[in-house]
Amino acid sequence: GTPSAEELLRGLDPEQLEAARSVRGPVCILAGAGTGKTRAITHRIAYAVATGVVPEQQVLAVTFTTRAAGEMRGRLRALGAPRVQARTFHAAALRQLSYFWADAVGGPRPTLIDSKIRTVASAARSCGFQVDRSELRDLATEIEWAKVTQTRPVDYENTVAKEGRTPPMPPRDVARVYEAYEELRSEHNLLDFESMLELTAAMIHERPDIAERIRSQYRYFVVDEFQDVNPLQKLLLDAWLGDRDDICVVGDPSQTIYTFAGATPAYLTGFREAYPHATFVRLVRDYRSTPQVVRVANTVLRAAGSGAAPREHRIELVAQRPDGPEPSYTEYDDEPAEATSVAGKISALIDSGVPAREIAVLFRTNAQSAAYEQALGDAGVPYTVRGAAQFFDRPEIRAALHTLHGAARGDDGAPMVATVRHLLQPLGLTEQPPEGRQAREKWESLAALAQLAEDVAAQRPGAGLADFVAELQARAATEHAPGFEGVTLASLHAAKGLEWDAVFLVGLTEGMLPIVYAETPEQVEEERRLFYVGVTRAREHLHMSWSLARSPGGRRTRKPSRFLDGLRPESPSPAGRRGEPRRRKDRVLRCRVCGATLLEAAERKLGRCLDCPSPYDEELLERLRQWRREVSAAQKVPAYVVFTDATLQA
């Protein structure tokens, strides 16, 4: 049954309780990772609904990712508030804009673009610039930054000079591409995310009647991950609020990871000035992770420069959970070896009872995903890449969207499902699934699309093809692939706010994390916060790894990330890497069969090498334990130090 109001409060600690009970007026929860911020606001909403103070349809909870929105809706449903809207800024804006489009804007509906790359490429070409893919990506990010910070093309040069930014091209050239991009966009009736937010905010400002309708619909606002709100999102939030102050924000300045894209923690840290009468809550108990993981997180926090998290906002997390396995640090010769080993460890975890959906592999750049997709595929482990957008990025789905979009122009409103099936047939939606893995996968995604058409028709009888296409566009921009559960492969950015039993942080080398183009100290600090976000996703198992070469036999030129300094046993001290170099050779235990580096804690639990996997003999284990006891007693080194065969025999 639905929990009662009292039951909703029972699962909270005193500080969370204070936040939950402050149902009206401004509330700010500023706290570290895993301290239950999201849980506190979810219970706060459910409590407010259960006590009747707030009608559930009038709550808008804004989350950072679609996955987080989905999880919050799930939690709210379980807590008896199924009708609360939990959405990203984008999804919420898109709904409002589509709803009022005809009335407020008029004309043909624009095509929503979730990536700027193609349009930026055309814009750069039209200005006569030769740019490669990575420059294009940087340009797209820069244009995004300009739009998010409300910098128009004409002001761009000045703003950049004032802010001391280092744009990917001379500012004058960026401004030209930016202007050409905006022209192309309006010429082809394309709408990007920033313009979507801007248009929605403008609509509310310019049309008091629409503002009134939106404001009577939404009265209570909750914003998760408020440290990464950007000026444009803040503008929209203020438009929603009008002169009211029923707003609850939660965030962690140490997890600010989007300043590169124009976000700023200043709205969070400055909440007190904006709302002096706000209820302020701090949380320090870490409910998510084991003490072993929390120790790593605290070490990373201590190493962080002031940057986005001024001293008064810094905290030490206090672990609440029982002990778990020690985090592991593993070095590999090359990337495929790293991926294969990680896939092997994941298989072993699944065999030991950890569900696949409770495991994640997190990396800095999406390009790193491929090696893991391959390795997990080879190991027969189900996985899903990033969750979001992926489904709509598949070539067959893109082709299908194109076809449906074209057909929707001549939509005569006839029972829609049959039309969709008919249109998908030539693309490969046969009656029976075809043979062969690739053909079958393609068929399955088309079938999923047809199923979606049925769902839409069931929910909205009378929906035509144009409605279905509009729905698809909205989903492509904001939602997940239809349900599938496996190991998550995600970028660190996409992992924010989420948690898994086991987390593999891979590719931890200089150049990857911090990423090679993080040049200024501020950029490096943002990379460090990204590492902190990664570490704090793990409930129990935290495996960190890196490889020295890109491919087998390649030159081993890579270095482990500086963020591992002071964490991994053989690393130099964090203070400038000047500590006395330890002889690594003495500290590595290799599997006698495959030669892989063994990490004591994890191996001991499983009783075998995770790489080959050969049994780990009892005699070796015993000697290892003995050494560990002696060394930790003598030198107070962390318990996860490992030793070579040679040392053991000494």
List residues near ligand ATP by CB under 6 A.
11-13, 16, 31, 33-39, 252, 255, 287-288, 497, 499, 536
Would the annotation count 507 as a binding residue?
Answer: no
35 binds, among Mg ion, ligand ATP, none (CB under 5 to 8 A by kind): ligand ATP
Distance CA 602, CA 326 (A): 7
Nearest-approach distance from CB 608 to Mg ion, in angstroms: 36
Contact 338, 554 (CB under 8 A): no
Residue 324 binds: one of ligand ATP, Mg ion, none (C-beta under 5 to 8 A by kind): none
Q: 327 or 497, CB closer to ligand ATP?
A: 497
Pick the stretch among 340-348, 491-499, 558-566, 600-608 that binds Mg ion (CB under 5 A): 491-499
Indicate which of Mg ion, ligand ATP, none lies near residue 39 (CB less than 5 to 8 Å, by partner kind).
ligand ATP
Which residue from 109, 125, 101 is spatially nearest to 184, judged by alpha carbons?
125
Nearer to Mg ion, 16 or 509 (CB): 16
d(CA 613, CA 607): 10
Please identify the residue of the shown chain whose CB is closest to the bound Mg ion. 38
The answer to whether the annotation marks 11 as part of a ligand binding site is no
CB atoms within 10 A of CB 287: 16
35 is in an annotated binding site: yes
- In angstroms, the CA 123 to CA 185 distance is 9
Per DSSP, the three-state class of 250 is: strand
Nearer to Mg ion, 201 or 301 (CB): 301
405-to-391, 400, 409, 410 alpha-carbon distances in Å: 17, 8, 7, 10
Relative to beta strand 247-251, strand 27-31 is parallel
37 annotated as ligand-binding: yes
The least distance separating ligand ATP from the CB of residue 499, rounded to whole angstroms, comes to: 6
- Contact call for residue 254 and Mg ion (CB under 5 A): no
Q: Please select the residue that binds Mg ion; options are 16, 22, 35, 38, rule is CB under 5 A.
A: 38
Give the residue with the Cβ less far from ligand ATP, 31 or 50. 31
Residue 500's DSSP bridge partners are: 538
- Structure tokens belonging to residue 528: 């460090």
- What six digits make up the tokens of 243? 């002169």
User: Which partner from the list ligand ATP, Mg ion, none does 36 bind, CB cut-off 5 to 8 Å by kind?
Assistant: ligand ATP
DSSP 90-140: HHHHHHHHHHHIIIII-SSPPEEES--HHHHHHHHHHTT----HHHHHHHH
Pick between residue 38 and residue 290 the one whose CB is nearest to Mg ion: 38
Least Cβ distance, residue 497 to ligand ATP (angstroms): 4
C-alpha torsion sign, points 29, 35, 37, 40: negative
Please choose, from the candidates 213, 184, 192, the residue with its C-alpha nearest in 3D space to the C-alpha of residue 96: 213
Q: Minimal distance in Å, beta carbon 50 to ligand ATP? A: 18
Give the residue, chosen from 497, 507, 514, 560, that forms a contact with Mg ion under the rule CB under 5 A: 497
Q: Report the C-alpha gap between 324 and 272 in whole angstroms.
A: 38
Q: Is 623 helix (H, G, I), strand (E, B) or coil?
A: helix
Considering only the stretches 35-43, 169-177, 368-376, 516-524, report the one whose residues sit in contact with Mg ion under the rule CB under 5 A: 35-43
Using CB distances below 5 to 8 A depending on partner kind, what does residue 12 bind out of Mg ion, ligand ATP, none?
ligand ATP
Whole-angstrom distance, CA of residue 171 vs CA of residue 241: 36
509 binds Mg ion (CB under 5 A): no
CB of 75 to ligand ATP, least distance (A): 9
**CB nearer ligand ATP, residue 67 or residue 288:** 288
Alpha carbon distance 19, 43 (integer Å): 9
- Give me the residues that bind Mg ion (CB under 5 A), please: 37-38, 497
* Annotated binding-site ranges: 31-38
Q: Cite the annotated binding site for ATP by residue number.
A: 31-38
